[in-house]
Amino acid sequence: MKLTPEQRITLHGFNNLTKSLSFNMYDICYTKTKEEREAYLEYIDEQYNSDRLTHILKTVSDIIGAHVLNIAKQDYVPQGASVTMLVSEGPVVEVPTENFEETPGPLPETVVMQLDKSHITVHTYPEYHPDEGISTFRADIDVSTCGEISPLKALTYLIHSFDTDIMTIDYRVRGFTRDVSGHKLFIDHEISSIQNYIPDEAKDMYHMIDVNVYQENIFHTKCKLRNFDLNNYLFGYTKDKLSHEEQKDITESVQWEMDEIFYGKNIYPGTVEEEK
């Protein structure tokens, strides 16, 4: 088997690089009344309670080959939940055969590698506009690993685990490790874009923008759904119950919200060019 340059490097001791993946997802809903808003938040709170989030994080730990040491979870009042999971190197079933190519990770059928001294966390943030109309749900998931494996291998599963209108994804490699001659290594794998770790079917669904600082090993990708179906943003009814004018107003309101989240700023008329 031909080895890559990364695989030929003999390290001095443990691989001390820390690789951190932050996955942030947003679900947006139009809630015309207080009753609709409360029903939506109750639905979200049930869908993404701490038990379900714990299951998602356990599956992430399986995908990256980790052993769960401790779980702390909490459902909040009136809404929201958090789960923190400490993980360590899992049992090595076989010699790792992981390559260093930029490819999407697996769905939860296989354990691929091992790691040590790491953690996985999730926090949820239901939120709504003070004047009614728009409600949003955000979940922040952080996967931090030490050693050879990249948490980017969990990205495919995370995308499949949430109904997502907007995603922002950050990846950073911190610290350094040394080879046997004492030479510092600040990254141990090639990476040009987080997009290369996202499955093709997901890339086809989203408009994506990269903001990368290659010399600092910092990578950022944000994604917004390409196709808009108003029915996906109404709670408890469909657009055929609305007048044409109501459909137009709600569509503009929801798309405005999506643009502001995607671009990370308050948007005023004429400040963002319409996407081609």
Where in the sequence numbering do the catalytic residues fall? 118, 123, 146
The span from the CA of 183 to the CA of 72, in Å, is 39
If 0-12 CB within 10 Å is exposed, 13-18 middle and 19+ buried, where does residue 181 land? exposed
Token couple for 178: 């040394």
The CA-atom distances, in angstroms, between 96 and each of 83, 148, 243, 267 are 29, 10, 59, 48
Q: Are 118 and 66 in contact (CB under 8 A)?
A: yes
Could you tell me if residue 256 is left (phi over 0), alpha (psi between -120 and 50 degrees) or otherwise beta?
Answer: alpha
